[in-house]
């Protein structure tokens, strides 16, 4: 199977969680955003796919994974689909549901991180909501960040396999997603993240272990991994990092 990934050009966003899974799983895939528009890629191809007529089960938004004739949308849904063929999920149903549950929780966390700098919504520029962003971030750093990190640290502690992973002895797509969120937090709120992770050694180890994986390390070194930037879901505004 060769896959096609549709996600907006110029940002990692939720598409990066899919890319990390495809890279770690050694999948053959085309990143449509990276193709020139003259070669059927870029934003025009993404908009064309979303607006295409004659699709009986149309996706609402990207990321979208094309697998054969299927168009699969929603980040957690795509990862659930890829877990088995890429060997990034447990074989048993109980384990698969646990990894899916963890990923859904990670994506809840992801949304709350975005809301720190855009609490009024992304139709307003950051400069139009600075006061609300400061208030939202204070609450996030005081209550929500430690609550999420403490939960995932506990999940790691409860893993009887004594591996750096959250679900058993083998890496899953939930571990990749968690490592990506930690990397994004380190970009967006480096001071607060460093402080919060001091007492979470298992999360620090998970992040390190993911980015030490040979295929992930090659992907990062290849230049194909887009850098974090302030057009993305993780954004760095120094005045929010306290």
Per-residue confidence (pLDDT) for residue 109, from 0 to 100: 98
CA distance 16 to 228: 11
CA distance 79 to 65: 10
Per-residue confidence (pLDDT) for residue 136, from 0 to 100: 98
Sheet-wide strand order for 28-31: 28-31, 2-6, 64-67, 70-73
24 by Cβ neighbours in 10 Å (0-12 / 13-18 / 19+) ranks as buried
Per-residue pLDDT tens listing for the chain (242 residues): 899 999 999 999 999 999 999 999 999 999 999 999 888 899 999 999 999 998 999 999 999 999 999 999 999 999 999 999 999 999 999 999 999 999 999 999 999 999 999 999 999 999 999 999 999 999 999 999 999 999 999 999 999 997 899 999 999 999 999 999 999 999 999 999 999 999 999 999 999 999 999 999 999 999 999 999 999 999 999 999 98
* Residue 119 structure tokens: 């609490």
Predicted structure pTM score: 0.97
């Amino acid at each position: 199977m060769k896959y096609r990934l549709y996600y907006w050009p110029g940002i990692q966003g939720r598409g990066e969680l899919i890319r990390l899974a495809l890279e770690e799983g050694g999948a053959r895939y085309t990143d449509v955003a990276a193709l020139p528009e003259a070669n059927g890629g870029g934003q025009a191809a993404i908009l064309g796919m979303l607006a295409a007529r004659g699709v009986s089960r149309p996706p609402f938004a990207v990321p979208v994974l094309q697998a054969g004739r299927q168009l699969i949308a929603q980040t957690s849904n795509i990862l659930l689909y890829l877990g088995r063929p890429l060997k990034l999920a447990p074989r048993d149903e109980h384990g698969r549901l646990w990894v899916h549950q963890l990923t859904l929780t990670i994506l809840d966390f992801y949304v709350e991180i975005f809301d720190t700098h855009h609490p009024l919504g992304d139709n307003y520029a950051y400069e139009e909501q600075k006061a609300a962003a400061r208030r939202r971030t204070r609450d996030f750093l005081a209550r929500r960040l430690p609550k999420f990190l403490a939960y995932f640290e506990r999940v790691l502690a409860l893993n009887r396999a004594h591996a750096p992973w959250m679900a058993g002895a083998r890496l899953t797509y939930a571990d990749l997603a968690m490592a990506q969120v930690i990397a994004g937090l380190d970009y967006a709120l480096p001071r607060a993240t460093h402080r919060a992770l001091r007492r979470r050694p298992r999360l620090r180890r998970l992040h390190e272990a993911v980015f030490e994986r040979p295929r992930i390390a090659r992907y990062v070194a290849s230049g194909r991994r887009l850098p974090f930037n302030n057009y993305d879901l993780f954004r760095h505004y120094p005045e929010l990092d306290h």
